[in-house]
Amino acid sequence: MRPRLHVTNGDVAAETLGQLFADDDVLPWRDPMVDGPFPAGLDLAATSQLRAAHLAGPNLEYDQVLRDFRLRDEHLASASRYREITLWFEHDLLDQLQILQILDRLASAEFADTRLSMICINSFPGVDPFRGLGQLDPTQMATLRDKASAVTAQQLILARAGWAAFRSPDPRDIETFLTQDLQALPYLRAALARHLQEFPSTSNGLGRTDRQLMRLVSEGVVRPGRLFANNTALETTLFLGDWGIYRHIEDLCNARQPLLSAKPRGAFRGPLDPALSTEEFRQQELSLTESGRRVLANEADASDFRDIDCWLGGVHLTNGKPIWRWNESAGRLQVAQR
């Protein structure tokens, strides 16, 4: 009999599924998709190459990241060898983007007799707050099996359109996409709306995550671990893990004129920094710089103090070009000259 495949968002959930379905194959879709480039017009192979270059760093070798993306992509390309593929995901932005990318890819695959189904949840009885499938043990996960529903043509069409909008260089395509009926993918609207809030604010040039982190620091939350935990509480749906948050802190500390400063070194060091023990990492203490205080008070714009060179999906935000800004009071994007 042909095997079954389960695709999910990361190693923790994949491990649980592996215990639950010992005869089935499991593919974790590893990619922190909320961070870094996803330009339009690239196929999966070229996108993976670009993603690997973005994600590689001192503790993550480019060759290894690229290899794992390629192995993942090869595995999904062979999807038709399975009699059934089940996608296991949750409601947050990261998972919704993963769903879009996977369904976009599967929509163009030829399936003669492969059943494609999906389980996507935003809560689980007795797990409060529910942050994700990684919180569930095999027994809890097993109860979700009956919630799998066949992926519909409407879901595939929406996923392709949503994926194109996310990768568009013009983020207004996302706003246009959000005017559609998205009931077929019920968590997608909130997720993409949250994505738009990561664009620099018209008030002070900070994206929502940066603003939340700086506000927490100003309120006396100064240790990295506590910052991650308290920031989590500010999100309706968690989509950035601890490493993602630490990357934001690092960027705020490493600005041309830093907006945050870390004791004892000034610069913030990440958890895998070989020069730092776990305790030294935990004991780092963040504070607002004067520039940071002015930005947080809307007296200055973050772009006065830091160079911008980042990607939000298909949009490259960089100095010297008109830049897309998020107008919080209007609840929409607008273009600004800096």
Q: 248 is written with which tokens?
A: 């934001």
221-280: contacts with other proteins (CB under 8 A): 272, 274
**CB 197 within 8 Å of CB 206:** no
Task: Show the site string, 4-23: x = touches other proteins by CB under 8 A, - = not.
Answer: -x-----x--xx--x---xx
- Closer residue to other proteins, CB minimum distance, 1 or 150: 1
| Of positions 70, 115, 131, 293, contacts other proteins by CB under 8 A | 70
Instruction: For residues 194 and 54, give the distance between their C-alpha atoms in angstroms, rounded to a whole number.
Output: 22
Q: Which stretch binds other proteins (CB under 8 A): 24-32, 191-199, 227-235, 319-327?
A: 24-32
Stretch that binds other proteins, among 38-46, 64-72, 150-158, 244-252 (CB under 8 A): 64-72
The only residue of 30, 172, 189, 226 in contact with other proteins, by rule CB under 8 A: 30
Query: In whole angstroms, what separates CA 275 from the centre of its chain?
Result: 28
CA dist., res. 199 & res. 180, Å (int)? 22
Handedness of CA 238, 39, 152, 27 (dihedral sign): negative
Q: Give whichever of 141 and 333 is closer to other proteins, judged by the CB atom.
A: 141
Identity of the residue, 75 or 115, whose beta carbon is nearer to other proteins in the bound complex: 75
- The yes or no reply on residue 24 touching other proteins (CB under 8 A) is yes
The beta strands (E) that lie in 20-151 are given as 25-28, 36-37, 84-90, 115-121, 149-150
26 binds other proteins (CB under 8 A): yes
Q: Which two tokens stand for residue 317?
A: 């935000």
Among 67, 147, 263, 265, binds other proteins (CB under 8 A): 67
- Whether 141 and 16 have beta carbons less than 8 Å apart is answered as yes
- How far apart CA 238 and CA 201 sit, in angstroms, is 20
Q: Which residues of the shown chain bind other proteins in the complex (CB under 8 A)?
A: 3, 5, 11, 14-15, 18, 22-26, 28, 30, 59-60, 63-64, 67-68, 70-72, 74-75, 77-78, 81-82, 272, 274
